[in-house]
Structure 1
Amino acid sequence: MKKKLLIAGAVFLLILGILIALPFIFKDKIAERIDREIQASVNAQVYYDFNNISLSIFRRFPHISATVREFGIIGNPPFQNDTLIHVNQLQVDFNLRSVLFDEYPTLTGMHLNGGSLYVKVLEDGTANYDITYPTEEAPTESNFKMAVDILEVNDLDLIYNDHKLDFFMALGQIDIEGRGDFTLDVYDLPMKMEAYIADVSYEGTNYLKSKRFKGETVLNVDLEQFKFTLGDGSFTLNDFLFDLQGYIALPEDDIEMDLSFEGKNNSFKSVLSLVPGIYTDSFENLRTSGNMDFRGFMKGIYNESSFPTFDISLKVEDGMFQYPDLPRPVSDINVDMQIANATNNLDNTTINIPTFNMNFGSNPISGRFSLANLVDYTMDGALRGKLNLEELTSIFPVEGITLKGILDVDATAKGRYDSAAQIIPSIDTKLNLSNGFVKSEDYPAPIEKLNFIASIINPSGQMDDFVVDLTQFGFELEDEQVSGNLRIQDFSKLNWDGALMGSVDLGKILAIFPMEDIIMEGKLKADLQTKGSYADVEASRYNRIDMRGEMDLMDFYFNSTDLPQGVRINNSSVEFSPQRINLKSFDSRLGKSPLQASGFLSNYLDYFLKENEVLNGQLNLNSSRFDINEWMTADASDTTELSVIAFPTNIDFNLAVNMDEVLYDNLSLKNVRGNLSIKDGILQFRDAAMSTLGGQVSMNGSYDPRNITEPLFDFNLDISSLSIPRAFEAFNTVKAFAPIAQHLTGNFNTKLNFSGKLGPDMMPILSTLDGKGLLRVAEAAYQNPQLLQAVSQVTRLNESNSLQMRNISIPIEIDNGVMDVRPFDVRLWDYQANIQGSTSFDGGINYLINMEVPAGKFGSMANKLLSTITGTQASESTIIPVSLNLGGTYNNPRVSLAGGNSIENLLSNALRSRVSQERENIQEQATQQFKAAEDSIRREVRSKAETMQDSVKREAERKASETKDRAVDEAKNVLRNVLRPRNTTKPDTTSIR
């Protein structure tokens, strides 16, 4: 017996050892298979660390589990900056036998734990989730078999951003669990799901925000009919519990549905949980009572021409809610609402609210509304009530604000809207606020005597009887009064007549209605009158529109987190007339920079009231010292990257600048003068001039940002007496194309036509630059021991480590980021020389230096060679042609003799040619060899330039799309920071694009 136990124990240990060893024995094979399948199936950048792959046979025995940590997919262009999916941990279960012995592996389970999914669809329908290879492009065919019996997702964030449908959805903390035999054509799938609904918006309208969803049901999946049927289950949205039953089928292109839903065991408090702003931490302590009933159905076909029938109803009876610690409730809430459509045409939708009433404390509000259809909008509605504003603060939590006054509302509307027949509903609406009072605890003085009387009347239903009359509007703040009136007549013509006058202290208003991180002071005074008709606007009869008056702003100051430099306007006066707006005076300080301005805008009514009209204007700017750097930094330690500035194409604007000093980057620009114009979206510079770096710069040119991903510039520069070393320190282009300038002293003059593209940081893209001009240097000294010593070592010429150059004219041409220096003559030391070559945008240099060196400068070496050849010695008249190749980079130069000769061979060949009186031109040969090598270098540089330009363009396109995806930024802040901060080892690469 003991022997049998030992044998059994040994067998068990052997099996256990095999099970432990199998994952390690076959790890390479399994990992290679996974990698091969990914490469075969996914047309995107898949990132994972092989060391983050672990295998286990015990997690779901008899299945083998492969776990990958920190795994993700980044799209290819145009989604190269978007992370489609990042998973903290993904466990995939395989049938062990299929992996080891079958032709194809069988996948039996998937478990995702933590991650994010970002789905993006562009306006043309291109989607970042389309990452599979077309059949003809796939290197191999993926052959996974699916026999999944469990699917688990835990703590996943999802953002769906569809520009084509104008649909946006952000979900967080998604948990899903599903179990079933997925290999069958028809099977039941028990499912559980939880999620935080951060945002759901469609066509600019928000439908759900900050809601928590839970659901549990059995989903019957029929893959043959592509039909999904919901069984018994329950769903909750915040505290609202409902049931959803029926099916959705996709037989072909249509969507067929038969769904019914009904509230379950809900109270009035459940409905309140769906109201924005109420479902907070104090919601559990909210006192409520009342009954609620919610039910409805949707049944039919959905396609481009058909919409399902539906009937949705909501009833609330004797509802009440009261905030904790507040004395008054909102009570007697009764709502009866039905939205229905018995046809397949959405235009036949009816809305019926026969009952709507509630009491705000002791103030009753009641109303009704019905809408017959969405075609002629036949309606019948009413709303009546009187609110004591002082009581509202005892009903709703309003901290730090005291309200008083009586708001009286009495509104009725009945009839139909038919623009063709000039018919609108008859309307009788009166709004009256009397003795209004607003006081903030942060400011001792209140806004008082706040009154307005308004009416909207149309007794006949005819458009020309329509009248909106704001007969009185006004308030007082510490003896300062603001008053106004407005009257609009005739709904088809919209004739208006109004006025606004008075003054207000902006600092006092901000104290009463504080805004976070904003400082604002100043007094605004206005006296404006306007009269006209929208019919005249449509007919372009702008001469009939009267807009006149003045507006003054005095002692104004504004500061915020986005504008930390602060803006101070000592005084500004604007005069309005129908033809133009005149800026009579403007004396300000922007940050530390004083600025005065004057000018005008004309055609402004056409521009603001009509499409495709052009706004004309002129602005004159004057400053004694303007610091641009102050507006390029967010704070003392953080520099904010510049971005491409685009101009509207329907603005024709001229700007005259006169500034004594402008500070930009490390430059001080003196006596800045010039005229700028914006027209058709292009900025033109005319007669711009400034003094800087000890010289004078004049400029004409243009900046064209109409293609915001590839903005263009084209300048014509005239530079005189500019310091060479200071130009090197100040300009990146000089550093790139003329690095020799760092070792030169003296001044230079040039006339240069210069054009190219700008990057998303508004800096020139060096690889795109084109230019042509002539560089003149009257006198300069050159000191660079490293380069000059390298020349001496190669030539054996013992010369000093400095050069004096005079009266040099250098013709240059820049083509696609390569600066060509055409051949020019110069004296190097005491030798006549000719230099030609190029410098590329990446810092590479390639120059040929042809020198004429007297043989005597080579000393005994030349005499010895000459006596060997002729028996005579070299004289000063014996000229040796020396050709040098200068390559590498300026800071790491490579100097060599042309043709690879040693100096001895060069001297010997040169002396033999001279003695034999052969006509062979050694330097001509060197020049031809140099040009041949230069062609190869140019091709390499051009390839680098194209690669760089593509990279810059992709970055520019990414930045250009950022404004369309701001909702993604906001959603990510909610999902990551509000729900729970995370520290994951893989940073998010989804730069909101």
Structure 2
Amino acid sequence: MKKWIKYSLIGLFSFLILFVLAAITLPMIFKEDIEKLVKEAANEQLNATLDFEGTELSLLWTFPNFAFDLKGLKVTGQEEFDGLKLADVKRISLRLNLFQVISGNYAVNSLVFEEPKFYVKVLKNGKANYDIMKTDSSATVEEETSSSESSDFQFALRSYQIIEGEMTYDDAPNAAFLQIKGLNHKGSGDMSLEQFDFYTSTQMQSLQLNYDGVSYLNKAVVDAEINIGVGMKEGEMSFKLLDNALQLNALKLGAEGTVLMKGDDIIFEELKFSAPNNNFASLLSMLPAAYIEGFESVKTSGDFSLNGAVNGTFNEKSYPAFNMALKAANGTFQYPDLPMGVSDIGVDLKVNSPSSDLDKLTVDLKQFAFKLGQNPFSASLFLKTPMSDPDIKSAVEGKINLAELSKAFPMEGSSMAGLIEAQLQANTRMSYVTEQKYEKVDMQGKLGIENMIYLMEGMPDIRIKKMLMLFSPNDVDLQAFDLTMGKSDIQAQGKLDNLLTYFSGDKIMTGKLKVTSRLLDLNELMGDTTTTSEEEMAATNMTDTTSSINEDELFDRWDFAADFSCDKMVYDVYEMKNMKAVGKFSPSRAKMSNFELLINKVDIKADGQLDNVFGYLFKNELLKGELNLYSNYMNVNQFMTEDGSATEPEAAPAPADPSTAETAFEPILVPANIDFHMKARFKKFIYDVYQLDNVAGDLRVYEEKVEMTNLSCNAFGGSIILNGEYNSQDPKAPKFDFAYDVAQLDFAKIAEGVPLVATFAPIMKGMLGKFNSKFSLNGILEPNLYPDMASLNSEGLLETFDAVLKGSTPLKGLSQKMGIKALENIEIQNTRNFFKIKDGKLTVEPFAFTQKGIDMTFGGAHGLDQTMDYDLKMRVPKAMIDNSVIGGATQAAGNLLASQASKLGIKVEEAAFINFAVDITGNLSNPKFSPKVLGAEGKSGESMGDQVKDNLKEEAEKLKAEAEEKVKAEAERLKAEVEERARKEAERLAEEAKERARKEAERLAAQAASSEEAKRIRDSIETAAKEAADKILQDKLNNPFGNKNPFKRNK
């Protein structure tokens, strides 16, 4: 027996040691593997990135409870929510009973969140950042199987706690914003039971609630003890309010009743709320700006009561009945540090909706009154039948001295002065207004402001010298408005028609406004905006940002005729003068009959229209426009420099390496989300180092590119027609693709004014005369505005007339090498020269010409490094050869040529013409010549000479035929490209013509006396529209090029 006891004790002791060692070591051994598996598994299932700093597993110190701690949990959004953290939790602590887990009953003793931050954001399209689970087509089947197989599974949470939490809910579709800071909350109850009591305690240091542009709570303090009797049956949940107390700022609230949840229904059973044991100070504390630090020291008096009830079913089709009554009488308050108070405060408000029919709702604000200094102010409102035909009776009367208001109400960081006076009354039904039965509308009064001053830290001073609005049933007459904001000023006059129809929700407010300004400093008015939170910054930087104001509802129903003028406007680095804009403006369209602006020397005049203006400003939607643009002086350089300076064009030397050349300009980035069709006319146009005169053409700005059609101008002594596009979709490497048709350009002027020409053809600097050319040019721009030479491609035709090449280094060297003075200056008359630029090399197709009796063919290539590889063939009259260079000359070159002639058996002294081939290599500054004798013509060399001459002519004809084939092939390629563009443009014009015809048909049909006449009108107009659209399409396809073809031959 003793041995048995001994061995039993030894065995038990060994077991305890092994248990302790296992409890300590097992979590440590497998910790890293477990963490890695959890992260990988989670990220495979989430449309988000989950990460955490580490975990802690423990059983020894918490036995019989199992402890699990997760540290530094972060869930970060992807795609539209990139960078926005859905969750950021310092620590999550979980305690489970080990023995209950083994038995299958997962009883969570406690769940604690330390310093959690949650940011929920719903975009305007309804997509929410919490919807992060990846879809699984097999989820339904698996869920049903799992449910049936694990019906015995039990899970219970006994208590949970949130310590110093922060929560933000940002809902764009519903224009709702809720933010809680300093949240401490705990709850407990046996949630494994069907019936249990749930106890909660909540404290919030700051609660902010904005809805539909109105701030209902601003940094409110919350303290709540709420106990709920919870019932959980299959398909039904019930919540009965037991002992509870809620305090918002100084307002204490209580409630009783039951809420049931059945399917999609929420049923309120005698839910009542009230504000017991309160006074006027409780109501005052609910004003967002009134509840400040030290509020308990505010002197108040007066009575206050609040009660209400909700009873009935709420779902998609039904509303519960509800009522609410709020009353305050004899209210006064005065802040301890302010010299004045507010007295005679009275509020009497009743809201009653007796059934689910909201048209039976009534709002009765019998009194809203107060007295500030010696000035009383009062207002009243009665509303009934709000859904079918709102019936409104309201009145406002009184004066507010803003200087006295700033002495009576806390306004930290701001101050006010001035007088506001209102005398308004309205008594009408909405149907009277929408049906323009103005004789039944009682609306009259005035609203005035005089000498108003509003000063606030960090904002421009606001001063309204005078504003006066007169109200009548027909319109609101803005007789005067004189505003200054910082350095800026605005004066306005006008009328707003049918103001009340605006509140009907489906009518458009119209009017006329005349606005003038001496100075608008937009830099000062726009100021700087900053965010303080990483989550707020990420949310703000997303394409869909939520404003506290619902622009769609507030600003989408007006159409004003406006006349705006401004002497001086400052924006960014630009100073604009003499701005004028006359036209009709609405959220969807700005139609300008006249627009004028002067920026430095740049004058701009325009007319046309812009569509979807507010969609572009507030929703990042497409802005469309049809504009006519005029300018006497357009200097684009000032829009390409950081300081907005407008530099004049200057001749610039060609850089040795264009990729490293420095410039003050940057490539222009075409804005996204715009689609403009513009007809441009510029008398003088300056871009970089170029000056163009009489610029005219059609532009389309869309998809971050500019497409130019028949853009013509005068430059470099001649004329230019340009077609093609500039594409900045890749801002680091903008592309260009142009086709040019130039006429009578001056060689010397273009060589001096175009660095690209100086880079590829520096020999042009020595040329006199003019030329025509038709060529294509495409490539990529470097950040310094020079083309990336490796990407540059060009092909075309250059025609010369009376051109002369003088004094170039290669010509001088050739003349000296050959001993022919006639080669020092070459006249290039009536030639057609085909060239190509590719892979950084200029290639000139061989062409034939005659120089002072010398027949020549010339062709070859040279690169960016100026290295040459040209071939020259000449038929030279023997009389032009100096000192008989070939016939026994004393110079080394002459000896070489004499030696070559003798090898060919040519008697040079008897020849009338010498035929040469010269290989020209080296570079432009140090050319090298390798001449060869091909033959001679004359008495002794007639046969060989004839053969050489015939060979030269045959070669010239062959080169000509090859060149023509290349031009034809390139023309076909370009034709196909332009036909495609023409087709797209024709289809657009045809669709627009059809749309205009459809709208005209609808307008005429609406005026028709019968449905048969309406149908006849629609059919006839639609037939005519189709014929017109087909003609537009056919015309474009029959003549897709217009004047664009750069390779067409002159007849």
Fold-level similarity (TM above 0.5):
yes
Letter in 1 for 2:266: I
Number of the residue aligned with 2:916: none
1:246, distance to aligned residue in structure 2 (A): 2.7
Matched, 1:617 2:628: yes
Say which SS state the counterpart of residue 327 (structure 1) adopts.
Answer: coil
- Report how far residue 84 of structure 1 moved: 2.9
Corresponding residue of 1:237: 248
Partner residue of 2:278 out of 266, 270, 276: 266
Match of 1:597 in 2: 603
Equivalents in 2 of 1:246, 1:475: separation in Å? 54
1:578-593 alignment runs, 5 A limit: 581-584=593-596, 586-589=597-600
Q: In the alignment, which of 424, 429, 432 is matched to residue 411 of structure 1?
A: 424
Query: Which residue matches 1:376?
Result: 389
Farther-moved stretch of structure 1 (237-246 vs 677-686): 677-686
**8 Å CA contact retained: 1:454, 1:470:** yes
Does the 8 A contact of 1:750 with 1:776 survive in 2? Answer: no
Equivalent residue number for residue 975 of structure 1: none
Structure 1 residues 918-957: aligned runs within 5 Å? none
1:257 to 259, 265, 268: 268
Over residues 198-245 of structure 1, what are the superposed CA-to-partner deviations in whole Å (9 max), with x where a residue is unaligned?
A: 654445555444333332212333221222333211222233221233
Alignment of 1:637-676 (within 5 A): 645-648=671-674, 652-655=677-680
- Check 1:751–1:220 CA distance in 2 against 1; reply closer, same or farther (3 A cut): farther
* 2:278 match: secondary structure: coil
Find out whether 1:331 has 2:340 as its counterpart. no
Q: Is the 8 A contact 2:697 2:712 kept in 1?
A: no
Residues 281, 504 of structure 1: CA spacing in aligned structure 2 closer, same or farther, 3 A cutoff? farther
CA distance in 2, matches of 1:470, 1:147: 67
Match status 1:684 vs 2:738: no
Question: Aligned partners of 1:190 and 1:384: how far apart in 2?
Answer: 50
Tell me the distance in 2 between the aligned counterparts of 1:78 and 1:348.
43
Q: Mean alpha-carbon deviation: is it higher for 365-374 or for 308-317?
A: 365-374
> Which residue number in structure 2 is paired with residue 227 of structure 1?
238
Partner AA of 2:98 in structure 1: L
Alpha-carbon distance in 2 for matches of 1:779, 1:607: 48
| Superposition CA RMSD, Å | 6.0
* SS at structure 2 position matched to 1:279: coil
Is 1:626–1:661's contact at 8 Å kept on the other side of the alignment? no
Distance (whole Å) between structure 2 residues aligned to residue 255 and residue 45 of structure 1: 32
Contact 2:581 2:592 in 1 (8 A): no
Task: Determine helix, strand or coil for the equivalent of 1:326.
Answer: coil
Are residues 1:342 and 2:349 paired? Answer: no
Who is 1:53 aligned against? Answer: 55
Task: Tell me the residue number matched to 1:834.
Answer: none
Q: 2-side partners of 1:255 and 1:600: how far apart?
A: 59
Deviation at residue 413 of structure 1 after TM alignment: 2.5
Is 1:176 aligned to residue 170 of structure 2?
Answer: no
**Partner-residue secondary structure (3-state), 2:289:** coil
Q: Determine the C-alpha separation between the residues in 1 that align with 2:640 and 2:708.
A: 18
Distance between the aligned counterparts of 2:237 and 2:667, measured in 1?
Answer: 52
Distance 1:598 1:736 in 2: 29
Q: Of residues 95, 101, 104 in structure 1, which corresponds to 2:97? A: 95
Superposition deviation, residue 495 in structure 1: 11
- Unaligned 5+ segments in structure 2 are 502-506, 530-555, 586-590, 616-621, 646-664, 741-753, 762-777, 798-835, 844-858, 870-1051
Whole-angstrom CA distance in 2 between matches of 1:457 and 1:569: 39
Q: Between Structure 1 and Structure 2, which shows a larger proportion of helix residues?
A: 2
Q: Closer, same or farther in 2 for the Cα pair 1:341/1:26, shift >3 Å? A: same
Q: 1:277 to 1:397 in 2, by over 3 A?
A: closer
Distance 1:175 1:439 in 2: 39
Q: 1:623, 1:658 within 8 Å by CA — same for their partners in 2?
A: no
Output one character per residue of 1:380-435: Cα deviation in whole Å (capped at 9) or x when no partner: 33222234455334334567867355x44333333422156555764343226486
| CA distance in structure 1 between the partners assigned to 2:325 and 2:98 by the alignment | 54
**8 Å CA contact 1:574, 1:583 repeated in 2:** yes
Whichever residue aligns with residue 353 of structure 2, its letter is N
Q: For residues 140-170 of structure 1, give each alpha carbon's deviation from its aligned partner in whole angstroms, at most 9, with x where no partner exists.
A: 9798852322211223333334455554433
In the TM superposition, 1:364-403 aligns within 5 A as: 364-374=376-386, 375-396=388-409, 403=417
CA 1:515 to 1:288, structure 2 compared with 1: closer, same or farther past 3 Å?
A: farther
| Contact 2:491/2:515 (8 A) holds in 1 | yes
Alpha-carbon distance in structure 1 between the residues aligned to 2:156 and 2:464: 75
Q: CA deviation at 1:678?
A: 4.0
- Distance of aligned partners of 1:599 and 1:356 in 2 relative to their CA distance in 1, 3 Å threshold: same
Cα 1:490–1:11 change in 2 (3 A) is closer
Task: Give the aligned partner of residue 302 of structure 2.
Answer: 290
The share of aligned pairs that are identical, in percent, is 20
Q: Deviations over 1:876-918 (max 9, x none)?
A: xxxxxxxxxxxxxxxxxxxxxxxxxxxxxxxxxxxxxxxxxxx
Question: Partner of 1:288: helix, strand, or coil?
Answer: strand
TM-score by length of 2: 0.54
Partner of 2:318, secondary structure, is coil
Aligned counterpart, 2:130: 129
Q: How does 1:103-252 map to 2 (within 5 A)?
A: 107-121=108-122, 125-132=126-133, 137=138, 146-163=155-172, 165-195=174-204, 199-202=208-211, 206-224=215-233, 225-252=236-263
Given the alignment of the two structures, is residue 355 of structure 1 paired with residue 367 of structure 2, yes or no?
Answer: yes
Letter in 2 for 1:568: E
Contact in 2 for aligned 1:774/1:809 (Cα 8 Å): no
Using CA pairs below 8 Å that are at least 6 residues apart, which structure has the higher relative contact order? 1
Partner of 2:947: none
Structure 1 residue ranges without an equivalent (≥5): 459-465, 519-537, 590-594, 634-638, 742-746, 753-772, 781-804, 811-825, 829-993
How many angstroms apart in 2 are the aligned matches of 1:600 and 1:295? 62
In the alignment, the residues of structure 2 paired with residue 347 and residue 87 of structure 1 have an alpha-carbon distance, to the nearest angstrom, of 47
SS at match of 1:250: strand
1:731 matches 2:782: yes
- Give SS of 1:630's match: coil
Match of 2:574 among 558, 563, 567: 567
2:65 match: 63
Check conservation: 1:233, 1:243, Cα contact below 8 A.
Answer: yes
Q: Residue deviations 1:719-767, cap 9 Å, x none?
A: 9648599x9996389999987x9xxxxx975689xxxxxxxxxxxxxxx
Post-superposition shift, 1:332? 1.0
Counterpart of 1:256 in structure 2: which amino acid? Answer: I
Say if 2:471 is the partner of 1:456. Answer: yes
**In the alignment, is the contact (CA less than 8 A) between 1:777 and 1:808 conserved in 2?**
no
Secondary structure of the residue aligned to 1:347 is helix
- Is the contact made by 1:428 and 1:455 (CA closer than 8 Å) also made in structure 2? no
Q: Displacement of 1:279 after TM fit?
A: 2.4
Distance 1:557 1:25, change over 3 A: same
Q: What residue in structure 1 maps to residue 831 of structure 2?
A: none
**Residue 269 of structure 1, CA deviation:** 2.1
CA distance 1:778–1:111, change in 2 (3 Å): closer
SS in 1 for 2:365: strand
1:429 aligns to what?
Answer: 444
The letter for the 1-side match of 2:366 is: P
For residues 282 and 432 of structure 1, the distance between their equivalents in structure 2, rounded to whole angstroms, comes to 36
Alignment of 1:695-710 (within 5 A): 700-702=723-725
Mark the CA change 1:80 to 1:163 in structure 2 (over 3 Å): closer, same or farther.
same
C-alpha contact 1:199 1:208 (8 A) present in aligned 2: yes
Q: Alpha-carbon deviations, 1:643-686, whole Å to 9, x = none?
A: 9833455x5434456887656xxxx7776978563478774234
Q: Is the CA contact 2:207–2:220 (under 8 Å) kept in the aligned structure 1?
A: yes
Equivalent position SS for 2:642:
helix
Partner of 1:784: none
Contact 2:222 2:246 in 1 (8 A): yes
Aligned residues: 690
TM-score normalized by the length of structure 1: 0.57
AA matched with 1:302: F
Q: What is residue 941 of structure 1 aligned with on the other side? A: none
Change (3 A) 1:218 1:689: farther
Q: Find the aligned partners of 2:613 and 2:80 in 1 and give their Cα distance.
A: 36
Once the two structures are overlaid, the 10-residue window that deviates more, 490-499 or 127-136, is 490-499
